[in-house]
Amino acid sequence: MSPSITDIMETQEKLSKMRWEYYQHDIIFSFQWWFLIVTFIILFIVWIRLLDKSRLLTILLFGFITLNIVTFLDTLGGELQIWEYPKMILPWGPRILCIDLMISIYFMLLYQFFTKWRSYIFASIVLAAVFSFIFEPIAKLLGIYIPISWSHLYSFPIYILLAISIRHLVEKLITINNLTKG
């Protein structure tokens, strides 16, 4: 017999309580918790200082699209038990919003500083390599990230595809916007 919505809701309630207890006892104020908060704050301050305010709306559009896609993919991967984030800033919501925000900031910096497609693609490849082969292993080593049925090799082309497709989408949206203005 398949579960009812009531069964699912009861299980979800138990899971929420378990997450809260786990968060209170094993996560909040842990080294990993502080590491995530401090690295996010430092990156955010650097981003604010480097931000090209003359392109603010375009850069933020790029960042919001990135954040939504990355958060969706992270949530999907967690729900499908492809990976898990045992240390998170908040016990509920997107599994690792802090890292998703950091990825978005790095992508916005990439978008801001590499305006020509050729240099953008090259920089996207470099950033994808850093994310896949440096940041992910560090997150694993620190106990922030557990790949279950995932490899860093899988992440590499996905980061590149994300950077290129999001830039393409943003440029199309800007073109459409400019055409409707006038």
pLDDT tens, residue by residue, 58-71: 999 999 999 999 99
In angstroms, the CA 150 to CA 165 distance is: 22
Supply the range of the domain harboring residue 18. Answer: 5-181
Number of domains in the chain: 1
User: Half-sphere exposure of residue 173, counting CA atoms within 13 Å on the CB side?
Assistant: 12
In angstroms, the CA 32 to CA 140 distance is: 11
pTM of the model: 0.93
What is the torsional sign of CA 8, 143, 38, 49? Answer: negative
Indicate the SS3 state at residue 3: coil
**Residue 182, pLDDT above cutoff 70:** no
* Higher per-residue confidence, 92 vs 33: 33
**Residue 174, pLDDT above cutoff 90:** yes
